[in-house]
Chain A
Amino acid sequence: MNQLPLLNPTDGDIERASEQIREMVRRLFKRSLHIRHVDAGSCNACESEIKQLTSPYYDLHRLGIFFTTSPRHADLLLVTGPITRAMEAPLLRTYEAMPDPRLVVAVGACACDGGIFGRSCLTNGRLSRVLPVDVLIPGCPPTPFALIQGLLLAVGRAEQKMRQGQIQPSGDNRAILGTPSPTPNGFSGVES
C-alpha cells in the first residue's frame, strides 16, 4: 500500500492504484453509509420506492445505511430522473458540497439510460453524462430490494449479478443475458 509514487506510471499502474483506492473507499463505507437523494426530474416512482426503504418492512437502517438531508453529511449521492437541464446545476452543486470520497448511484431507467425520456433539449438523458457513476440500478422503478442490492454493491457488500457475475436466469446459456463479453466493456462512467 505504501509504495513510492512512480515516475512514469503505466496505464496498468494507474488502474491498479485506482482499484486499490476504490477498495479502500468501499471498506470505509461498509458499515456506515449516509445517503443524499437528489431528484433530477424523476416522475416520483423511484422516490416512492426509495421512501419504502425506511419503512419497517425494508428497514434500511438495520444495514447501517441512513438518509441525510445535507450533502455535507453524505457519502453517497442517489440520483433519480433523466437529469433535466434545470436540475443539472443544483445536482453538480450537491456533488461538490459532498466530502471526498463520495459515491454516486444512478437509480431507475431514466438515470441509467434516459428511460422513456431519452436525451432531448431539456434532459441530459443519463447521469453518466454529468457525473462519474459508481453503480447503476436499472428498473422502472427498481424495487426496494433492487435498491438495497445496488447500495450494498456500491459499498462492496454484494456481488454484481449481471454479466461479470455470470448470472444465468434460465438455467442455460441460451438466454440473451449472461452473454460472456470477451473484455469488460470499455464504457467508463464519464464519457469523453
Chain B
Amino acid sequence: MQIAWLIRGLRTGVVTTRYPREPETLPRGFRGLPVLDVDRCHAADGCNDCVQACLPRAITLDAETRGQGDTGRESFAVSEEAGGGVLLRLNYGACIMCGLCVAACQSTAITMTADYELAVRQPGDLICAATLRDQGAHHESTASPEPN
C-alpha cells in the first residue's frame, strides 16, 4: 500500500508552479487585461457601446462625464489637448474583466489578453487613456487624472 503511494508520488513529480522564475501561461479563455486597438475604435464617431456595457463604469468617455462631480468613481478631467476628440479612459482598478465590452464592441477594437500581472504602486498607473479623433486615430498621452 505505502509502496504504491510512493510510486505514485514519484511518478507525479513536483506540482508546484515555478511562477516568479518562469512565466506562467494561464488556460485559454482566461480573461485578463482588456486592450484597445485605437485604430479600429469608433468612439470619435459617437460610438459608446463599451461605456454602456461596462458594469463597474471602468470605461468612460470624457464627453459623457464632462462636468459631473464625484460619483464615487474617478472624476474624469477633460483633457486639454483633446480638441474635437474624445478621451476614452479605462480604469483597470475598477475593471472586473467580465468581457462585456468585448462583446459589445461592434468594431472588435477591444480584446481581452491573458495578461494578469497588473499590480502597481500608484493608483494613477491603473488609469489609461487614449485620445480619439475623427480623421485617423491619435495615440497621445493625456493629462493626469485629478483625484476626487
Chain A residues in the interface with B (C-beta under 8 A): 56-59, 62-63, 109, 112-116, 118-120, 125-126, 128, 133-140, 142-143, 145-146, 148-150, 152-153, 157-158, 160-164, 167, 169-170, 173-189, 191-192
Contact = CB atoms under 8 A, between A and B. Distances in A.
A140 B140 CA distance: 29
A140 B96 contact: yes
Contacts of B119: 135-138, 146, 149-150, 153, 158, 160-161
A149 B117 contact: yes
A33 B111 CA distance: 36
A181 B121 contact: no
A2 B93 CA distance: 39
Nearest to A168: B35
A145 B24 contact: yes
B121 A118 contact: no
B93 A177 contact: no
A169 B35 contact: yes
Contacts of B58: 113
Nearest to B98: A140
B18 to A, nearest CB: 10
A176 B36 contact: yes
B107 interface: no
B72 A109 contact: no
B92 to A, nearest CB: 5
Q: Which 7 A-B pairs have the closest CB atoms?
A: A185-B124, A119-B72, A150-B119, A187-B124, A140-B96, A113-B93, A176-B36
A169 B113 CA distance: 8
Interface residues of B, number: 59
B86 interface: no
A133 B36 contact: no
B contact face: mostly helix, strand, loop, or mixed: loop
B123 to A, nearest CB: 5
Contact of B123 (A136, A146, A148): A136
A58 B17 CA distance: 6
Contact of B116 (A146, A153, A191): A146
B55 A116 contact: yes
B44 interface: no
B6 interface: no
B72 A145 contact: no
Contacts of B116: 139, 142-143, 145-146, 149
Nearest to A190: B147
Given A135-B120, A136-B120, A160 B93 contact: no
B82 interface: no
B97 A162 contact: no
Given A57-B17, A140-B97, 20 more contacts: A57-B16, A59-B17, A109-B96, A134-B121, A135-B121, A136-B121, A138-B119, A143-B116, A160-B119, A160-B125, A174-B139, A175-B36, A176-B130, A177-B35, A179-B130, A179-B141, A182-B141, A185-B122, A185-B125, A187-B144
